[in-house]
Amino acid sequence: MVSGFHQRVREIYFVIRMEYLFDRWGEVERALAPGALLLLDYDGTLTPIVERPELAILSPDMKKLLKRVSRHYTLGIISGRSLTGVKELVGLEGIYYAGNHGFEISGPGVELVKPEAERVRPTLIKICEELRAKLGNIKGTIVEDKGSTASVHYRLVAEGEFERLKNIFEEVVGPHMDSGTVRVTHGKKVFEIRPNVEWDKGEAVLWLSSVVDPKGELTPVYIGDDRTDEDAFLALREMGVTILVSEGPMESNAKYFIKNVDEVKAFFERLINLQTQK
């Protein structure tokens, strides 16, 4: 057992009353009347969760919907993937992209790379090399170096091997956490290693909102499915429409939930209809 591991993995949860979005459509429609800044997670939101990261390919119908939505709304993709990776996967021009949980942001008239991420880069390279060497004999482990951040995926790891993986992970990453160089968050079957600075999806969406909509005329809408999206839900809780992709209500900072990727598509269709009916 890793001493203090879970206390050192940063997680944020607040229990609020979560509503099924389509049951509250009237209030959502009123909130979006001024227009919307639509901010979307990628994995688990635009594509179903899959066994390996490279298999999460945007379906043709989802890509077509996103393109239609982008004609009516300001659109941004906020992902834990690398900036290059998420751009390639979505493939739409003229929208905003935030990679590595917001450490890299790019879009029309916007380019941001957090300098802290560049300074921590040599440490992340070292961590990834050591993790690959020490986790190489645990079948199903995927160590992903994403530039500004890194991930260890264990969805394919046998349940009986998880404790060993966690112990090795703590052995390698723990000293860098203790020194204050990196911090770790825990997503769906993944450990995320990031520079230890106050910057996450929440800070990223607030920054992007201030740049894209400096007068605050648009209602921010954020849709995500994972623990890393809780930072964005919390940041926008008092000023936007926050939506968790989940089969049912659960502990979250999001105000609403929808059940799956198909319902994300249904939400997009409703957004488009709001504009075409004007």
**Which are the catalytic amino acids?**
41
Judge whether 108 and 157 are in contact, CB under 8 Å: no
DSSP-based three-state secondary structure for 217: coil
DSSP-based three-state secondary structure for 109: coil
Complete DSSP assignment for 115-130: HHHHHHHHHHHHHHHH
- The residues near 25 (Cβ < 8 Å, ≥ 6 apart) are 270
Judge whether 106 and 204 are in contact, CB under 8 Å: no
Judge whether 10 and 48 are in contact, CB under 8 Å: no
Judge whether 32 and 267 are in contact, CB under 8 Å: no
Q: What's the rounded Cα separation, in Å, for the pair 12 and 181? A: 20
Paired sense of beta strands 219-224 and 190-195, if any: unpaired
Q: What's the rounded Cα separation, in Å, for the pair 51 and 197? A: 30
Dihedral sign (CA 61, 67, 68, 69)? positive
Judge whether 78 and 205 are in contact, CB under 8 Å: yes
Helices (H), 53-114: 60-72, 83-90
Instruction: Output the six-digit token pair for 127.
Output: 């961590």
